[in-house]
Amino acid sequence: MKNLTLKQLRYFEALARDGRFRRAADACAISQPALSMQIKELEQELGSELFERSAREVKLTPFGQTFALRVRDILRAVDELGEFARASRDSFLTRLRIGIIPTIAPYLLPTVINDLNKSFAGIQIEVRETQTGKLVHELAQGQLDMAIVALPVSEPSLTELELFREEFVLVRPHEDGDKPVPEREALREMRLLLLEEGHCFRDQALSFCKVGAARPREIMEGSSLSTLVQMVGAGIGVTLIPEMAVPVETRSAHVSISRFPSPQPSRTIGMVWRNSTPMAKQLQEVGEAVRRSAETMRQQYGGG
C-alpha cells in the first residue's frame, strides 16, 4: 500500500464522520465527484470496501469501522506534529480551537474572546459549543485544542486546570421573592425545572437536591437555561442556574433570585486539553487569560 495519501485519509475521515458525500465534500472544499473518486481509489488500494452505499447516505463496513479508528489515530498524530512545529516556532498562539459547554458559553465567551484577542495579537479563534461528552471526544480526536467545562472530567488522557468556582442560585416566580429560601430537600417536593439529559449542570442540580435515579414526577425539562427561566417567569415552577447566567437570563423575565444558605451549591469551572499536546505552555497562558476574564465578569455582576 505505497500509494495511500494523507489527503485520502482526511477525505475518508470526513465521509465517515458526516455520512453523506455532499456534506463531506463541502467540508473538504472539493467537488462531490472528486471525493467519490478519491474514496474509490482508496478502497482499491486497500483491496476492501470501506462504505456501504445507498441513495441517501453511506455507512461504514465492519472493515471501515476498524480502519476509521486507525485513521483517526494517524490524523491526530499528524495534527500534533503540526502543533509541535507551530509551538516551537512561535512563542504566541496564532490559532486556537475552543470547545465550551452551553451553560458557560453565552455568559463567559464574549469576555474571553475579547481578552484573548488582546493577549494574543493576531490569534484566530474557532469555537465549538456542545455538551461535555462530545467535547471530550473531539479533544481526543484532535478536533479541538482545549475545552472550558465543569470539572472534574476525570479522563486520564486530559490535563485539567481549575479556573474558578461559582455558586448556583434559585430562580422563583417574582411573587415568591419574599418567601424563605426552601431547604434543598424541599425542592424535591416542588415543580423543578431542569435541563434535558446530557447536560452536566442537570446532574449537578439533581445532586444538590438529593434526587437520585428515580426521577420525581414533578421534574420538567428545557433545552436551555433561557427556556427554564422563562418557564419560571410564567409560573410553571422553579429552577437553579449558575450565577454567571443571572445578568443575561433574568433581565427580561419576571422572576426573583435567591441564594441558598451555606453550604451553597456550586461548580468548578476549568480547562482541559490533551496530555500529549505540544501546546501545553501556551494553553496554560490561555488558562490565565480565561481566569482573568472570569474575574472581570464576576466583579461586574457582583459574584462572590
Q: What is the pLDDT along the chain (304 residues), one digit of tens a residue?
A: 567 888 898 899 889 888 888 888 888 889 989 989 999 999 888 889 999 887 777 889 999 999 988 888 888 777 777 766 665 555 556 789 999 999 999 999 999 999 999 888 888 999 999 999 999 988 988 889 999 999 999 899 999 999 999 999 999 999 988 889 888 778 877 888 988 877 888 888 878 876 654 454 467 788 899 999 999 999 999 999 999 999 999 988 899 999 988 888 899 999 999 998 888 888 999 999 999 888 888 777 665 4
Q: Say whether both 240 and 170 belong to one domain.
A: yes
Q: Which domain holds residue 125?
A: 86-163+269-301
Residue 80 lies in a domain: no
pLDDT value for 152:
93
Residues 184 and 250 in one domain: yes
Residues 230 and 240 in one domain: yes
Query: How many angstroms separate the CA atoms of 214 and 191, rounded?
Result: 15
Do 146 and 260 fall into the same domain? Answer: no
Say whether both 32 and 18 belong to one domain.
yes
What are the grid coordinates assigned to 71, written together?
485513521
**SS3 category, 100:** strand
- Gap between the Cα atoms of 271 and 291, Å rounded: 10
Same domain, 36 and 150: no
Residue 1: inside a domain, yes or no? no
Q: Is 120 found in the same domain as 204?
A: no
What is the residue whose three cell numbers read 475518508? 12
CB within 8 A of 223, min separation 6: which ones? 195, 196
- How would DSSP label each residue in 15-61? HHHH-SHHHHHHHHTS-HHHHHHHHHHHHHHHTS--EEE-SS-EEE-
Residue 81 located in a structural domain: no
